[in-house]
Structure 1
Amino acid sequence: MIRNVFSTGRHRTSYWTGGPANGPLMIFIHGWPELSSMWWHQLECFSALGFRCVAPDMRGYGGSSQPSSLGDFALEHIVEDMLELLGGLGAERALWIGHDWGAPVVWSLASHHAGKCIGAVNLCVPYLANGFAPPNLVPLVNRTLYPEAQYPAGQWDYMLFYEKDFEAVRAVFEANVPALFKALIRRGSAEAVRKPSRTATVSRDGGWFGGASQAPVLPRDEAVLSQEALDRYVEAFETNGFFGPNAWYMNHRQNMAYAAKAPGEGKLRLPVLFLHAAYDAVCETMDSRLAEPMRRDCLDLTEAVLETGHWMVQEQPERVNAAIARWLAARVPEFWPFQEYRKPEV
């Protein structure tokens, strides 16, 4: 893989790239709180298959621009970053793949700029045509698990706390960055999704981690977080802090207004693959109604369920790759490289 930077007058994007320069373009969009390197397994796999693979550090992360205004992290600006990157790569269209907050970026590209998309693949966060924001998420909460009187915002309570005390959240995350990543990036389990997520009580507790001043010190979960990956996260987030990553949560009104501008009421007609994480306690799509709007508004939707937690790219990289490859072969076969191959006639 090669590290590159693309800059315009408004933004700088640092990214990893691999595969042949003339291969079909796949762009992988990370979420919170990660880096482009989270996609390493996918970059290696699909580059080896002949695709041109690109994974950028998103706005506020790693080597990309670090704006200082909260409003600079609205989705409309971030989508423009990706369109500029696409043009800088000399491409008209790409297959876009997103995880966590990367998924709303990809959904926004698909809904507002379908002509720039071969298709869309998203992990964990399903499509909400009216915007990925608490007013649209809370009505879809599983009220059997989250009784409204006790958990008015369900597992999305943590989003509201960013708006209540942005600097307090930032201080807790920055107090011990190694501990934070070891506490966050862990395997999922069937047991975890049978009880309320810790994100449901952040406001009641007065902050993350039960209101503590920093993340708890836990052993690294070697199944999902290598020492090399942890070192990269620590270096990047101790350098840049959490202003930018957390600011993505501070633009819900702007993001809903942007979603409302999508043509055709936000209906997606291009091929879409969504990967459910069966053991994701926050983006819980198995027992709640969270995926229902996506099924209504994506007209060419394929779904697959992986028995993983939220960090599925690290927990089950081979299964993620296989799911994407199977879908490509079935729904977008013309996108595959090396089209000179033809099955011999019998």
Structure 2
Amino acid sequence: MSSTRMIKANGIELCVREQGEGALVLLCHGWPELSYSWRHQIPALAAAGYRVVAPDMRGFGGSQAPAEIGAYSIFDIVGDMVALVGALGAQDAVIIGHDWGAPVAWHAALFRPDLFKAVAGLSVPPPFRGRARPLDMLRAGGIETFYWQYFQAPGVAEAELERDIALTMRTMLARGFSDPQSLFVTPDKGFLGEVDPDLPLPAWLSADDLAYFVDAYRASGFRGGLNWYRNIDRNWELTAPWQDAQIRQPSLFIAGGEDAVVTGLIGAKRVQDMERVLPDLRRKLIVAGAGHWIQQERPDEVNAALIAFLREVAPQS
């Protein structure tokens, strides 16, 4: 059974779930999620012989949410994971991330190969740092309605998403990102678009699961997580020294075959070309019929792939 506690790391308090003993495995969740998103992985990886720690990431759930937008850069968030390894008394770790947690994991491996000896990313391919700021590139391509752009103005997305948090979480988790158009904002309809209050929950999401997310977001609001998006261009500037760098540690990629993040034009090309960034990619698993919330939707396949990977890169002593 996992337990939760607060740990001070990188100047903030992080709420972490932990279970098991052995080599350290960090699980980084995405948006709009929580450490609870790893509820199926934590006991499975612990039973396989690993010490599993899943924080509510900076700005989410029970962890602290600094007020400044600038406190949510990729350096700050990776810094939290570096400090967390030290606070846990470990010498190194395998880091695994889903959705926004995947860029955190990829960059942690890129910045600190001495500390993160292997990396797995779910649903979001490794970083391909472009030649210009991401938001500038969208505008140059004639795109004005991508959700990243909608999230930039402080307060706008918060007002929409916090109007009815139960409806927001039902819509986002039950609908997911199976349609590429879900990544674009329809004028006057906001990010959520047409919402159906009677949208049935998928088989992988129980009413109790949904209630857990709703209660957590009622307490925290959405500002902390949205501030991650408000650092997208700044992250591009900060990562200039890593232009065209490779992540040389053993790596794993998992995604759902129906996830618009990897089936759209840009995402599909990144999945196809990821070996350029990941020269020691051990496996690229695309789970047919699965969507974006892959570790919740298909825990058996995800757990099996993660455990097989961990046994290669962090064998039990």
Q: TM-score, normalising length from structure 2?
A: 0.90
| Residue matched to 1:158 | 147
Kept after mapping to 1: 8 A contact 2:58/2:64:
yes
Q: How does 1:113-132 map onto structure 2 within 5 Å? A: 113-130=112-129
Partners of 1:186 and 1:224 within 8 A in 2 = no
Three-state SS of the structure 1 residue aligned to 2:151 is helix
- In the alignment, what sits opposite 1:4? 5
Q: CA deviation at 1:239?
A: 1.0
Work out whether 1:104 is the aligned partner of 2:103.
yes
Displacement, 1:258? 2.3
Q: Residues 116, 279 of structure 1: CA spacing in aligned structure 2 closer, same or farther, 3 A cutoff?
A: same
Q: 1:254 and 1:69 mapped to 2: Cα distance?
A: 14
Secondary structure of the corresponding residue to residue 28 of structure 1: strand
Q: CA deviation at 1:268?
A: 1.1
Q: CA deviation at 1:203?
A: 5.4
> How many Å apart are 1:291 and its aligned residue?
2.2
Instruction: Kindly indicate whether residue 303 of structure 2 is the aligned counterpart of residue 321 of structure 1.
Output: yes
Map 1:175-254; keep pairs closer than 5 Å.
175-186=163-174, 192-193=178-179, 196-200=180-184, 202=185, 204-205=187-188, 207-210=190-193, 215-254=195-234
Residue number among 137, 157, 167 corresponding to 1:169 in the alignment: 157
Query: Distance between the aligned counterparts of 2:248 and 2:9, measured in 1?
Result: 31
Q: Secondary structure at the match of 1:303?
A: strand
Give structure 1 stretches of 5+ with no counterpart.
140-147, 340-346
Does the 8 Å CA contact 2:10/2:80 hold for their aligned counterparts?
A: no
Secondary structure of the structure 1 residue equivalent to 2:155: helix
Cα distance in 2 for partners of 1:222, 1:288 equals 25
Relative distance call for 1:229 and 1:45 in structure 2 (3 A) is same
Structure 1 residues 284, 137: closer, same or farther in 2, change over 3 A? farther
Q: Secondary structure of 1:166's partner?
A: coil
Amino acid at match of 2:50: F
Query: Is the contact between residue 204 and residue 297 of structure 2 (CA under 8 Å) also seen in structure 1?
Result: yes
Structure 2 partner of 1:279: 258
Query: Quick one: percent identity of the two aligned structures?
Result: 32
Partners of 1:153 and 1:227 in 2: how far apart?
37
Distance in structure 1 (CA, Å) of the matches to 2:146 and 2:159 = 19
* Count of matched residue pairs: 311
Q: State the secondary structure of the residue aligned to 1:3.
A: strand
Amino acid in structure 1 at the alignment position of 2:169: F
Partner of 1:143: none
Provide Cα deviations, 1:206-258, integer angstroms capped at 9, x if missing partner: 52233x7xx54133414132222212211111111111011110012221122
SS where residue 110 of structure 1 aligns?
helix
Alpha-carbon contact 2:291-2:297 (below 8 Å) kept? yes
What SS class does the counterpart of residue 16 from structure 2 fall into?
strand
Q: Quote the residue 1:342 is aligned against.
A: none
Q: Which has the larger radius of gyration?
A: 1
Find out whether 1:94 has 2:82 as its counterpart: no
Give the Cα–Cα distance (whole angstroms) in 1 for the partners of residues 176 and 65 of structure 2: 31
CA offset at residue 162 of structure 1? Answer: 1.2
The one-letter code of the counterpart of 1:199 is: L
What are the ranges of 5 or more consecutive residues in structure 2 without an aligned counterpart?
none
Aligned-pair CA distance for 1:37: 1.1
CA positional deviation for 1:8: 4.5
Deviation at 1:166, TM superposition (A): 3.4
2:278 to 298, 307, 311: 298
> How far, CA to CA, are the matches of 2:61 and 2:309 in structure 1?
31
Per the alignment, residue 55 of structure 1 pairs with: 54
Classify 1:267/1:82 alpha carbon distance in 2 versus 1 (closer, same or farther; 3 Å). Answer: same
Runs of 4+ in structure 1 deviating by more than 6 angstroms, as ranges, are none
Whether the 8 Å CA contact 2:133–2:237 is kept in 1: the answer is no
Residue 76 of structure 1 corresponds to 75
Q: Deviations over 1:297-330 (max 9, x none)?
A: 111112111121001111100100111123334x
In the other structure, the counterpart of 1:18 is 19
